[in-house]
């Protein structure tokens, strides 16, 4: 049985904090206790504000590796400053009992929100975007989290989320706590294939865990389910990524593409960074907002359509029980980079925009008003499918450049998108451009007649990071 730390020396002081902690913080009540640490609600004496104080459990004080890991959690968290990462206030280790004081976040965890079924699709994607932002900041500072899951993300306030619990985090270079051979750190449902097979965790492993969490956020269940942890780990290595639209047919197809790339078995096929995954998730929300505006007309704005998720029991989520399948079923359909995109390109406007190309090549003819279904699934012609895949890849790059303020790069890729979107034959799919990219291209066309504007190809003052 684990014990909450008590002051040394056999004193019957009701305060569970060691002396150096008790001088600064007064305990109010226990909040939680797990196999690693105990957390108390406390008051910071000099400022009169409430905080959360975490103490290493007495049972672990005789294990140098656990003490070192606890102290490293404090150092790693203190090294990170980001609005989506929990803030550390103070830390100490006198009397042999390490402690960490964190900012108090009174909101629910994403686990609680999943269990109660209160997350909409848009809230789920927004939460994943903010976690990706936190991971990008951590990775840029040389830190791997290694335990991304809904339990470790708190809603600080409505619509704003923070990653916590860097208890098994590590520096990518030096200073890491050594792990015993054969030990896998992390939660089995979220651990990456390379970790299962014994390779070292990397930033890509955090991206994989975020992909598992994203699937769980938008469906209410895990992508891989098994009767025991061993079979679950095998699923990460062998099972195909299931479609999120199988349990939730109302979800957009674009979410499947993001999940499939995040959960790729090989790190080479996965998103190269948390930021890249974040950009694709942002495109999904932009497309939904543009779709809502288009449905109501240009003069009316409203929130994007809501997809409400229902609660799933802990038994269903964990995949426990004798009748549970070894792994979730395979994904269906083709998978492409990018997201479902916003507005259909008017072919007349496309022809006007393409007339400014430097190569002066003639434009292919197009029948006015023609509109075909969006996405590569609209055609079985291999050449058309390949062209559609190229379109989505280039479009994602253009939107990412535009989001960073690089209008020159976005304009160049936007023109290429327009060329790919123009039907060149009966089997070519009609493709869609996002609203911000269309606005940039339209602004460029208008600027050709205005000598005071930046000339084509010139960068705006904020064109580069």
pLDDT of res. 4: 46
The reported pTM is: 0.64
pLDDT of res. 57: 87
198: left (phi over 0), alpha (psi -120 to 50) or beta: left
Residue 42 three-state SS:
strand
pLDDT of res. 451: 41
Q: Span 196-207, mean pLDDT?
A: 93
- The DSSP annotation for 171-230 comes to ESSS-PPP--TT---S-GGG--HHHHTTPPP-HHHHHHHHHHHHHHHHHSS-SS--SSHH
Q: Looking at 33-47, 182-196, 438-452, which range is the least confident one?
A: 438-452
For residue 61, give the DSSP letter.
Answer: T
Topology, domain 8-103: Phosphorylase Kinase; domain 1 (3.30.200)
CATH architecture of 110-318: Orthogonal Bundle (1.10)
List active site positions: 147
pLDDT > 80? residue 315: no
Residues 20-38: tens digit of each pLDDT: 999 999 999 999 887 778 9
* Residue percentage of the chain with pLDDT more than 90: 44
pLDDT > 60? residue 288: yes
- The pair phi, psi for residue 239, each rounded to 5°, is -75, 140
pLDDT > 70? residue 388: no
pLDDT > 70? residue 98: yes
What residue ranges do the domains of the chain occupy? Answer: 8-103, 110-318, 343-447
Residue 233 three-state SS:
helix
Q: Span 117-126, mean pLDDT?
A: 94
422 vs 427: which has the higher pLDDT: 422
pLDDT of res. 426: 33
Q: In the predicted model, what is the mean pLDDT of the chain? A: 74
74 vs 384: which has the higher pLDDT: 74
**Rounded-to-integer distance, Cα 392 and Cα 418, Å:** 11
**Cβ within 8 Å of residue 361, ≥6 positions away:** none
150 vs 344: which has the higher pLDDT: 150
* Residue percentage of the chain with pLDDT more than 70: 63
**Rounded-to-integer distance, Cα 342 and Cα 110, Å:** 29
Residue with tokens 């991304």: 148
């Amino acid at each position: 049985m684990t014990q909450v730390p008590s002051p040394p020396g056999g004193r019957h002081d009701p305060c569970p904090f060691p002396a150096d902690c008790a001088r600064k913080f007064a305990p109010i009540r226990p909040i939680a206790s797990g196999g690693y640490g105990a957390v108390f609600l406390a008051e910071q004496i000099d400022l009169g504000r409430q905080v959360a104080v975490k103490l290493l459990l007495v049972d672990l004080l005789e294990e140098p590796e656990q003490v070192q890991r606890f102290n490293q959690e404090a150092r790693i968290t203190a090294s990170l400053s980001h609005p989506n990462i929990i803030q550390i206030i103070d830390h100490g280790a006198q009397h042999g009992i390490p402690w960490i004081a964190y900012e108090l976040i009174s909101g629910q965890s994403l686990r609680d929100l999943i269990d109660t079924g209160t997350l909409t699709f848009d809230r789920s994607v927004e939460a994943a975007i903010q976690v990706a932002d936190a991971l990008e900041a951590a990775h840029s500072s040389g830190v791997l989290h290694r335990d991304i899951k809904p339990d470790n993300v708190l809603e600080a306030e409505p619509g704003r989320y923070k990653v916590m619990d860097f208890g098994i985090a590590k520096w990518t270079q030096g200073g890491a706590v050594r792990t015993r051979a054969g030990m896998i750190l992390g939660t089995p449902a979220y651990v990456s294939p390379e970790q299962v097979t014994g390779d070292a965790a990397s930033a890509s492993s955090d991206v994989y865990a975020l992909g598992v969490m994203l699937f769980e956020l938008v469906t209410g269940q895990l992508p891989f389910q098994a009767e025991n942890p061993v079979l679950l780990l095998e699923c990460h290595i062998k099972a195909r990524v299931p479609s999120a639209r199988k349990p939730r047919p109302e979800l957009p197809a674009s979410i499947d593409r993001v999940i499939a790339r995040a959960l790729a078995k090989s790190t080479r096929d996965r998103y190269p960074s948390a930021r890249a995954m974040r950009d694709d998730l942002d495109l999904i929300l932009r497309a939904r907002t543009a779709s809502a505006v288009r449905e109501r007309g240009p003069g009316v704005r409203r929130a994007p359509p809501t997809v409400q998720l229902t609660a799933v029991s802990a038994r269903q989520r964990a995949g426990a029980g004798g009748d549970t399948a070894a792994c979730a079923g395979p994904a269906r359909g083709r998978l492409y980079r990018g997201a479902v995109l916003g507005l259909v390109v008017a072919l007349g406007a496309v022809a006007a925009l393409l007339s400014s190309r430097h190569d002066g090549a003639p434009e292919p003819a197009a029948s006015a008003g023609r509109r075909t279904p969006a996405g590569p699934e609209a055609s079985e012609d291999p050449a058309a499918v390949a062209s559609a895949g190229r379109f989505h890849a280039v479009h994602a790059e253009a939107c990412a450049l535009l989001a960073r303020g690089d209008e020159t790069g976005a304009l160049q890729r936007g023109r290429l998108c327009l060329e790919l979107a123009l039907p060149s034959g009966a089997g070519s799919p009609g493709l869609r451009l996002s609203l911000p990219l269309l606005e940039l291209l339209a602004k460029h066309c208008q600027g050709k007649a205005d000598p005071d504007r930046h000339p084509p190809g010139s960068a705006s003052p904020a064109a580069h990071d």
